[in-house]
């Protein structure tokens, strides 16, 4: 076990020395990889902040449950009890028909019209605030409440929820596609870099094989080289996104204040940062593996 760890430490040290031996090439390679990774990473940062902003400015979805005009007080009380005990209900507000009538009578331009009506045309109603705001959950609640005895109609204003959900899903799909395309570019860059390393160290590799070195021993430093190069690109991307976030934070907060909203951009979360570095190292390692598989056989 100690020998295995020693071999990996030596391979990592050898890869690190190769990177530091050519600092200009290493820096240029990291910049290329970093720019490629910064685009999807920046998109993820903007998407996460957009979701936070949407949660703050969007009104909570509600269901309006209208009772039948001939519903008795007993029926209204029973429906209220069922709504309040429902597992997916957060809040229930009862709106008596008399209050609706008084409010509309007090409205300018509607008072005379309401007074001319022979009877109160408005039903008792409940405003329900759900726990789960997903479009599917809201639609399921609407369908269930509409089946209650004494309920005439259930209105759900979920158009904005569906539009927002569709927009965020489309944005995430675009970011995923962009990340996949640029990930292929990162693999290609690492592939070519490792190929050049193999060509320049061809004699050393042949000597190592003659001395009995295994393929795993020969490949290991190149794997670490690719992973370290990917990590360097990930670090450049993380710094680029951090700088962009800090530069945009002030103007975005000022713009939000004009609309009466307190909002500031957040940097990449710890989980997103770890994912960025992990994917960068993985793609670098994968590029090295593909290059080794192809060129060492030759």
Mean pLDDT is highest, among 12-16, 107-111, 136-140, for 136-140
Q: How confident is the model at residue 284 (pLDDT cuts 50, 70, 90)?
A: confident
pLDDT (0 to 100) of residue 101 = 75
Q: How confident is the model at residue 295 (pLDDT cuts 50, 70, 90)?
A: low
Mean of all residue pLDDT scores within the chain: 78
Residues counted in the chain? 298
| Residue 109 Rama label (left phi>0; alpha psi -120 to 50; beta) | left
**Residue range 230-283, pLDDT digits in tens:** 888 889 989 998 998 888 888 888 877 776 677 778 888 888 889 889 888 888
More confident residue, 288 or 160: 288
Between the two ends of the chain, the Cα-to-Cα distance in Å is: 32
Chain CA centroid to CA 34, Å: 20
Looking up tokens 């070519």, which residue turns up?
Answer: 192
Q: Is pLDDT at 228 greater than 80 in this prediction?
A: yes
List all residues 6 or more positions away from 77 whose beta carbon is below 8 Å from its beta carbon: none
**Cα dist from 58 to 113, 175, 246, 261, whole Å:** 34, 23, 25, 12
**Which domains are assigned to the chain?**
2-57+163-295 (no CATH), 63-157 (3.30.70.3040)
Please write the tens of the pLDDT for every residue from 38-73.
Answer: 888 888 888 888 777 766 665 567 888 898 888 888
Strands 89-95 and 151-156: unpaired
With 0-12 CB in 10 A as exposed, 13-18 as middle and 19+ as buried, what is 288? Answer: buried
Percent of the chain with pLDDT over 70: 76
For residues 9-35, average pLDDT: 77
- For 122-180, how does the pLDDT look when each residue is reduced to its tens digit (9 = 90+)? 888 988 888 887 778 888 888 888 888 888 888 876 566 667 677 778 878 887 887 78
pTM for the model stands at 0.62
């Amino acid at each position: 076990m100690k020998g295995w760890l020693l071999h990996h430490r030596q391979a990592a040290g050898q890869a690190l020395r190769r990177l530091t031996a050519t600092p200009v090439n290493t820096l240029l390679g990291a910049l290329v990889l970093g720019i490629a990774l910064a685009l999807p990473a920046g998109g993820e940062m903007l998407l996460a902040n957009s979701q936070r902003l949407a949660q703050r400015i969007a009104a909570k979805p509600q269901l309006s449950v209208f009772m039948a005009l001939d519903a008795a007080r007993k029926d209204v009380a029973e429906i209220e009890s069922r709504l309040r005990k429902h597992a997916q209900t957060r809040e229930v507000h009862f709106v008596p028909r008399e209050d609706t009538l008084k409010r509309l009578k007090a409205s300018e331009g509607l008072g005379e019209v309401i007074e001319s009506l022979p009877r109160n045309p408005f039903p008792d109603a409940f405003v329900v605030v759900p726990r789960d705001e997903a479009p599917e959950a809201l639609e399921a609640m609407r369908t269930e409440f509409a089946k209650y005895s004494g309920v005439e109609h259930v209105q759900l204003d979920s158009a904005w929820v569906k539009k927002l959900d569709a927009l965020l899903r489309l944005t995430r799909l675009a970011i995923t596609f962009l990340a996949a395309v640029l990930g292929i570019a990162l693999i290609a860059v690492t592939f070519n870099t490792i190929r050049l390393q193999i060509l320049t160290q061809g004699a050393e590799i042949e000597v190592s094989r003659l001395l009995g070195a295994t393929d795993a021993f020969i490949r290991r430093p190149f794997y670490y080289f690719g992973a370290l190069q990917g990590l360097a690109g990930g670090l450049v991307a993380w710094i680029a996104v951090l700088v962009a976030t800090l530069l945009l934070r002030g103007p975005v907060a000022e713009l939000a204040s004009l609309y009466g909203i307190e909002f500031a951009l957040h940097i990449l979360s710890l989980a997103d940062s770890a994912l960025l570095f992990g994917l960068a190292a993985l793609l670098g390692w994968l590029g090295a593996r593909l290059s080794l598989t192809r060129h060492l056989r030759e």
